[in-house]
Structure 1
């Protein structure tokens, strides 16, 4: 009887070990092979690698402002953002854009 009492004392650990072993064997047995997973995801891995390479290339070759040219209050970043917005808009002011939309007749 003493042996059965010791087994009941560790009942949770024994059940957990059996369940963990069963799940591990099932995953190893029924999971797809490594080459199957690689052949399925290779386009995603390749496109991600090319995107990261492009980001790295442009980060290395572009002339970003250094920390010494930016002021501590962030006004240099605001000026840079306004410059980008002016470039995207094409240097036109909001009034001229509004006028061009209202004169569609």
Structure 2
């Protein structure tokens, strides 16, 4: 009778372990192989790799990138100011009025 009481005490643990084992076994048995997944997603992986390579190439060859700037202070400041402006535009969805006014005033 003592074994039955202990089994009833841990019944949720036993059920959880059984369900977890069943799920693990079914995932291992019925999931596709690595090469199958790779053959399905290779265009996406290739295009992502080429895009990242292009970003790195343009980042290295661009003169405004802080790592390649000769003057550490002014290049990084210009890059940070441009990045903050883009971030403000993306987050708020609109540019600030003074910034728009100065942009259009410079066109004249």
Query: Shorter-chain TM-score: what band?
Result: 0.5 to 0.7
Instruction: Report runs of 4+ in structure 1 exceeding 3 Å deviation.
Output: none
Q: Please list the CA deviations of residues 11-64 of structure 1 after superposition, one character each: whole Å capped at 9, or x if unmatched.
A: 111000000000011111111111100000000000000000000011011001
CA distance in 2, matches of 1:34, 1:13: 32
TM-score by length of 2: 0.64
Residue in structure 1 matching 2:73, options 52, 59, 68: 68
Q: Displacement of 1:65 after TM fit?
A: 5.7
CA RMSD of aligned residues (A): 3.0
CA distance in 2, matches of 1:45, 1:53: 12
Q: Displacement of 1:69 after TM fit?
A: 0.9
Q: Which runs of 5+ in 2 are unaligned?
A: 67-71, 86-98
> Could you say which residue in structure 2 is the equivalent of 1:48?
48
Q: Which runs of 5+ in 1 are unaligned?
A: 94-105
Greater share of helix? 2
The count of aligned residue pairs is 83
